[in-house]
Every structure is written in C-alpha cells, then in structure tokens.
Amino acid sequence: MTRYDDFHARSISDPEGFWADEAQLIDWHTPPTQILDASNPPFANWFLGGTTNLCHNAVDRHLAVRAEQPALIFVSTETGVEKTFTFGQLHIEVQRTAASLMALGVGKGDRVLIYMPMIPEAAFAMLACARIGAIHCVVFGGFASGSLASRIEDAEPKVVVSADAGSRGGKIVPYKPLLDEAIRLSNYKPAAVLLTDRGLAPMELVAGRDHLDRDLAAVHGDVVVPCTWLVSTDISYTIYTSGTTGKPKGVQRDTGGYAVALAASMKHIFDGRAGETYFSTSDIGWVVGHSYIVYGPLIAGMATILYEGLPTQGIDRQPDAGIWWRLVEKYRVTVMFSAPTAVRVLKKYDPALLKKYDLSSLRALFLAGEPLDEPTARWISDGLGVPIIDNYWQTESGWPIITIANGVEAKPSKFGSPGVPMYGYKVKILHEATGEELTGPNEKGVVVIEGPTPPGFMQTIWKDDARFVQTYWKSLPGKLVYSTFDWGVRDAEGYFYILGRTDDVINVAGHRLGTREIEESISGHANVAEVAVVGVADALKGQVAMAFVVPKAGDAVTDSDVALKLEGEIMKRVADELGALARPARVRFVTGLPKTRSGKLLRRAIQAVCEGRDPGDLTTIDDPVTLQKIGQLVVP
C-alpha cells in the first residue's frame, strides 16, 4: 500500500503530475491541455483547456451501468415521506427542472438562487443548474429576509427557486413570505420565481413573476436537455460565508477542479465505493451539503440520503433518538458524515440506541463543522465501534484540509485532532505578528496554506478579486499565504490541533456566523447606543453568540422588566433580519464596553472573561472597570 506521507509529498513537489493522475477519476468531454496555471498568485487555475460538466459526472455517466441503482434517497421525518430515486429517475427529474429553468430564460452563466428546505427538488435544481451551465447560489433556509435580500442583491439571480414551506420539529416554516419580503427589500429584482408547492402553507403568487414547478413541468417536462460542456475554470456555483464585516462573502468555485477534488476525496478520504450508500446529515445550504450530500457521493456512483428532520425525531415526528441508526441499517450506509453538535445532542439519550440497530455496514463516521471535543469523540466511538474521523475544512476550501486519508493508508485518529494535512495542501503554522514559520511541536500560531491551492478550492470572492486577495492572502506580515483565521498547533507526529478563531467569526452548532453582522442588526434598534457580540464556549453548540449592549442615554435597564422587554425586542430583531441561528443566547446591558485608548473594541478580552479565562494584559484598556463589570454579569 502507498505510504500516505509519500502520497502527500508527491502532491506538493509535483502538483501537475499528481493532479493529472487524479483527473482520470472524472469524465472529460475535452481533456485538459494544461494541468495548472499558477502564474498569477494567489490565483490558481486548474485543468485549462479541459471541458466537462458536474451533472454529467454525477448523473449521466452512471446510466450505462447503474440506471436502476438508488441515487437519491429522500427521508423526511417531518412529513413521514421516504422516497428513492434511481439514477435513471434522477436523470429525468433533473432534465425536467432544467427545461423549466430554460423556459424562464436561464442559460449559461446566469445565476439561480435556491432558497429551499431539504427536499428532492432542491437537489434537482442544483443539478439542473450544473447541467445547463447556470451558476447556482444556495441560501440556507434558516436565513431570514434581511440576510436573503443581501444575497439576492449580490448574486443578481435571473430566477429564484423556492417552496411554500419547510418544517422543523413539527413547526411549519413558511418560505414564500420570507422570500417575498426579501425581494421587496432587495434593490435587485429577479425576473422569475420557481416554486414547489408541498401543501404545507398557503402561497400567494405574484402574477407574471411566480411559477409553480408542476405547471412548467407539464409543458416542458419531456424536453431532452443535454449537458452544456463547460471550460474547467467556468464558475459552477457561489456560496456565501460570513466575514469579519457585515457583508457576506460569495465564495466562487470552478467546475473541473471541483469535480476532480470531490472524486479524489470520495476515493482517498471517505473510501466511498460505487453502489454503496452515503449519509450526510448536513444541509444543502452549507458547503458540506454541496460537496457531500449532492455532488461527491453521486460522482462516486453512490446513493446519497437527503434527510429532513431532527436527529431525535422519528417518522411522523415521534420522538426517536435512534432514527439515524435506523436509516443506517435500512439503507446499508457505509459512510456517514455529521457534526459534533449532533452527537452531543444524542449523548443526552440512552446509549443503548447505538446498539439497537445493525450497523455492520458502517465503516466510519466523519465529523466536521466545529472542533470535536475528546469526551464526545470517545462516547460515539465506544457506542458505534467504528472509526470516528474528525476533519477540518472551510466553505472556502470545498473539501477537507486536514483529516485522515484512510483510502490511501490507514492511520490512527487522535482524539482532539482532525489529523494531518491532505494531499494538495501545504499547511503551515505561522507566528501571528512576525509571519515566521513555527516548526516545533505545540507552538501556537495561525494555520495557513501556501499556494498554489489545490483543485476544488475557492477561485475568488464573487465579483471582488481585490477583497479575496486582501482578506485571505495578506493578513500576515510579509507573507502571501492563505489564512484560515484559526489558531493551531502541531504535535511531534505531524497531527494538527485547531484552537479557535483569530477573527470575529463564531461557530454555532457548525454554522459560521459573523459577529459584525449580528452587531449591525442590533445597533439598528432605536434604543441601542453601542454593542459588542462575541462567541462564548457552549457545551452543546460549541459556541453561542453573547451580546453586550450599551443603551442610549436615559433608557433605564436596571429594572428587570424593562431589561427583559428590551432583550426580547433585540432578539426578535436579529431573528427577523438574520434568522434564528444568529439570535444571541443572551443580551446583557452594560454602561460601557472595554476599548483600547485608540478606541478599538476588545472583543477577545470580553470573550475571555465570559469563558472564565485570563483576559491578558489590561494596561491598554482605557477603562478597565468596564471589563470588570462584564465579568460580574456573566459569573454563574
């Protein structure tokens, strides 16, 4: 068997030869003539001259040998529906959606924004866009109208694809009113809206703009839509990620490099095999859903489970903390991907549920999205009796940066560590202030990636190359390196440990949220003078947002009823504008916020006090008493 160290070393020393070999894992309509162009750093262009199509590689190329094999398995514990689409049936559905989009004027390079619950039509829409060369932009269904409006303005979609409603925990969440309000708020107006009516909530259709998918399918459903062959560097999709400013960043991904990266990761990292079943419990609104619910498993010829529901909710919304394991048994899942928060939720229930079902098909459980703590890892490892493989990556990377590539060489996992750098990634730890490389064991620094970045990595920020370079590549002095904005250390055996963010992005149950975006929402309240939002460690969610608010002069909040009312108003404002995920766990009212003498807000010091840690040197604080008062507020 190949030694992983040698495998990784070749990917760094001979990237063109290495990725030329990996490129054989997908179908090319026209083979690439140049593997890598890194002549304009930090931009890296892969597989130049090659033409391909993501939908062809995910669907069409499997039809000759596995048309009757399950491809998409939809399970909704919210509505009690379980339905399987074979590769042949998926091919028909995707063409039907593609024909409908084309009837609405969508063509190559046009944007289609998808704002949908976890239903098959969402996957059909993604694949249909890929089929005709349109650029899809999926927005997480948990985002409220304000967040959705900002993404509509930035993406400028010709068509928005949505639904009447989703459901979570038995509660119907109407999507259409949220979408209508977002379009009203947006300065850019899409030409058309394509809607799936699930019969969960009434919808008012806007004449001339809104169309039901079933109506268009009745007219165009039998149209044969061939794949549009795209140049490898053509954009496949954009996906928004929170930044350190209120404006979200549209991460832009290519076509050929992404297809190759996913095909390689399914083989080398996940050890996924054609004909088997993959189960990712994520959401298509996040990059994990793009890579490992939709594209990755299908490219590998696997069936993929699309799950709508909670981890503790069985069919017809009955309590069942064993539902995921029932699905593993029923569909013979071999590879599963989830998040530490979900496992921490399951820890509250009877561990016997992990032994109730036949899990003999399961080879590994992968966890990502937030740091995996050792007690949680040990609990699920002992319960399932299969390897628990942490993996570290970002929306920007598109696939794992650090994990264990058991498909190349079986290596032990270490609790608390996601593993070692993956092939194609030249990962280093640099000193934050000097940019000096830290090579000794357990030396803390910023985790960075040296260019050229591998296939599948973000191309740039949508419509903003300058922001891409300035944000990601110029944050460390004297170095042109990609910053992950995470602290990390490396042990003597080369395993990395991620220690938390260096910027103002927090991770709530695996969902990245920008504290500045939350602050901007809160500061819009008429009674708020100043606000600071920090991420505070939480045993269940990893982190929660905590807001500290200075009310405007004359607003008395010493009265508990007044304070409770104002807190409720602020929380509702954030939920309405950004979505429930962004709502702070608590809003604390203070008379001032700790700042340096130059006026810089000391968020890290606030976070340290909230978590019971030493806030460090306080000599730079203009008024140390302000921090002491915050400490008194948050003492349990």
Q: What is the mean pLDDT of the segment spanning 412-427?
A: 94
State the pTM of this model. Answer: 0.85
Among the residue ranges 249-258, 509-518, 578-587, 614-623, the one predicted with the least confidence is 614-623
Please give the average per-residue pLDDT across 361-382, as a whole number.
Answer: 88
What's the confidence (pLDDT) of residue 147? 87
| Residue of 627 and 310 predicted with greater confidence | 310
Of 39-53, 386-400, 499-513, give the lowest mean pLDDT range: 499-513
As a whole number, mean pLDDT of residues 254-280 equals 98
Residues of the chain with CATH 3.40.50.12780: 4-426
Mean pLDDT calculated for residue range 398-419? 94
Which pLDDT does position 621 carry in this prediction? 55
* The pLDDT value given to residue 1: 63
Residues of the chain with CATH 3.30.300.30: 505-634
Note the pLDDT of residue 332: 98
Report CA-CA distances (Å) from 455 to 18, 255, 294, 542, 632: 11, 10, 18, 30, 49
Mean pLDDT across the chain:
91
Measured from the Cβ of residue 202, the count of other Cβ atoms closer than 10 Å reads 11
Reported as a single tens digit per residue, the pLDDT across 196-255 is 999 999 999 999 999 999 999 999 988 999 999 999 999 999 999 865 455 779 999 999
User: Is residue 553 over pLDDT 70?
Assistant: no
Residue 635: what pLDDT? Answer: 57
pLDDT digits (tens, 9 = 90+) for 598-619: 455 677 778 888 888 776 555 4
Q: Is the pLDDT of residue 636 over 90?
A: no
Task: Quick: pLDDT tens for 64-121.
Answer: 999 999 999 999 999 999 999 999 999 999 999 999 999 999 999 999 999 999 999 9
User: What pLDDT, on the 0 to 100 scale, is given for residue 407?
Assistant: 95
Sign of the CA dihedral running 415, 418, 421, 426: negative
pLDDT of res. 46:
98
Close Cβ partners of 103 (under 8 Å, ≥ 6 residues apart):
216, 219, 220
User: Do β-strands 482-490 and 445-450 pair in parallel, antiparallel, or remain unpaired?
Assistant: antiparallel
Least confident of 300-314, 336-350, 593-607: 593-607
Kindly report each contact of residues 175-180 with a partner whose C-beta sits within 8 Å and lies 24 or more positions away, as own/partner. 175/115, 175/116, 175/117, 175/141, 175/201, 176/201, 176/203, 176/204, 178/144, 178/145, 178/148, 179/115, 179/145, 179/148, 180/204, 180/206
User: Taking a C-beta distance cutoff of 8 angstroms, is the pair 503, 241 a contact?
Assistant: no
Q: Residue 125 — pLDDT band, cuts 50, 70, 90?
A: very high
Q: Which pLDDT does position 225 carry in this prediction?
A: 97
Stronger pLDDT, 518 or 459, i.e. the higher one: 459
Report the alpha-carbon distance of residue 563 to residue 178 in Å, rounded.
Answer: 29
| Tens digits of residue pLDDT in 173-204 | 999 999 999 999 999 999 999 999 999 999 99
User: What is the predicted pLDDT for the residue at 602?
Assistant: 73
Higher pLDDT, 589 or 57: 57
User: Residue 490 has what pLDDT?
Assistant: 96
What topology is assigned to 505-634 in CATH? GMP Synthetase; Chain A, domain 3 (3.30.300)
Q: Is 4-426 a domain of CATH 3.40.50.2020?
A: no
